[in-house]
Amino acid sequence: MKSHRHNWLDRLRERFKWHVWPVIHRLAWPVVWLRRRLRPHKISMRRLEGGIAGSEHPLTMLFAAKEHKAYLQELVFPKVTRETDLGVARLMDVFRPEYGRGKNAGMVILETNQSLHQWLDDGSWFFIPAWVVGEVRLPLPEKTLRSDTIRTIRRKIRKYGFEYEAVGTTEQFKDYYYNMHVPYITKIYGPAACVQSYEEMQTRCEAAGFDLILLRKKDRPDVFVSGCLIIYEAHGPRLWSFGVRDGNVELVQEGVLSALYLFCFEHLLKKGFAQVNMGGNRPFLRDGVLAIKKRISQTLLLGRWEGFALKVLELTPATKSFLVNNPFIFLANGRLHGAVFTTAPLTVTMVGELADEHFYPGLGKLLLFFFERNVRFQMSDLPPELAARVEIRAAAEVVSGHLHLP
């Protein structure tokens, strides 16, 4: 395949997306409003029950999802032990407070989008984007280059003799897609993997322009073992997809993916780029990929349009365990924020530790929900730079019906 930098069709599509479509959306709002009332959005509701990590008690939740169903179920439950069909309901009815009453559930998760959430939210729902997008400025800051993370990556590059090559032939693209990309994501994500067809990926790459960065070992120069697709969008380059030959976990442990990040940065710097879009990240602060990108200076930019509405109905032991074990990123008033729940005591030291672990560049605020209150604690006790990043909340607020999000 022939690699292009940009083409006029891609630039036209991007201009329409960012400049024309928002105007059309505003003008069409009366029609959208009328349609939502005459033909309300409907969803198939289920009640799921199963054991979760960190709790002896089973978690019961009300649930509706299609595209991200496998991902959400795997995130919440290792195994669903009981499933009850609650039938089809109007989305606006599910958002109402009375829907969850009497259904013996600790929380509700619905697959929806930002527009529907903003329209229906009564102030008691979080909106968690299905993906959050981040970028890295190039070259990497000196502090990052001296970090243990970068030193470890470079040590593995030397140890295993990793080197890269930028390619773009049809044969290499096919090899990457069928023998690296698809095996890797299906092995890592299982039923939750989002696999684009070869034709879709090929068309997107040819329209935007691309480079395929392939990694090999010096002692086996004829075999590429992993790769990354960089596509060149109107707003700049994006690391779009990764792959490891045959989904080989041993290669991942050797550090091929981390090495690819550095090789892609090196390649883009040579081409004169000052930043790179790192692609989508799952919105949970303990996600491994999100954590790695944080250590190489990723800053979060925005949340995708589609996502999940989350409402806590009751702070059962199982619900508390889920919230404690799954700190998440949510969207409120146009900005990304973080939510962390903890059973630890509320002290200045603990606030500092939680902020160091979970605050991510690009977040507006990190909301810390404590199950244990300390009446003697004052926000004025925190150093100013820490107080500017966090908000301290009582965990009981999430079932009060009023989240008061930033």
Regarding whether 262 and 176 lie in a shared domain, the answer is yes
406 vs 40 pLDDT, higher one: 406
The DSSP annotation for 284-302 comes to BTT-HHHHHHHHTT-EEEE
**246, 268: one domain:** yes
In 3D space, the residue among 257, 240, 134 whose CA is nearest the CA of residue 194 turns out to be 240
Token pair in block for residue 253: 């442990």
* 97 lies in some domain: yes
Residue of 181, 128, 172, 155 whose CA lies nearest to 329? 128
Whether residue 105 is found in the same domain as residue 139: no
Residue 10 has pLDDT above 80, yes or no: no
Cα(131)–Cα(232) distance, integer angstroms: 20
Can you give the pLDDT at residue 290?
93
Is residue 239 a part of any domain in this protein?
yes
The answer as to whether 293 is a domain residue is no
* Residue 177 pLDDT exceeds 90: yes
Q: Is residue 116 part of a domain?
A: yes
Q: 389 and 334 in one domain? A: yes
How far is 50 from 56, CA to CA, in rounded Å? 11
138 and 109 in a single domain? The answer is no
- Rounded mean pLDDT of 115-125? 91
150 in the same domain as 95: no
| 275: CATH | 3.40.630.30
Of residues 75 and 135, the one with the higher pLDDT is: 135
In the chain, % of residues over pLDDT 70: 90
Q: How far is CA 6 from CA 3, 235, 263, in A?
A: 9, 10, 22
Say which residue, 126 or 375, is predicted with more confidence. Answer: 126
Answer yes or no: do 123 and 145 share one domain.
Answer: no
pTM assigned to the model: 0.86
Same domain, 237 and 198: yes
Residue 16: its pLDDT value, please? 65
- Using the structure block, give the residue that is written with the tokens 């045959």: 246
Does 35 reside within a domain?
Answer: no
Same domain, 108 and 179: no
What residues make up the domain containing 397?
327-406
Same domain, yes or no: 142 and 121: no
The pLDDT-based confidence of 15 (bands split at 50, 70, 90) is: low
* Total domains in the fold of the chain: 3
Residues 141 and 277 in one domain: yes
Per-residue pLDDT tens over the stretch 284-312: 999 988 999 999 999 999 998 899 999 99
Q: Decide if pLDDT at 6 tops 90.
A: no
For the stretch 64-90, pLDDT in tens is: 998 888 888 888 888 888 999 999 999
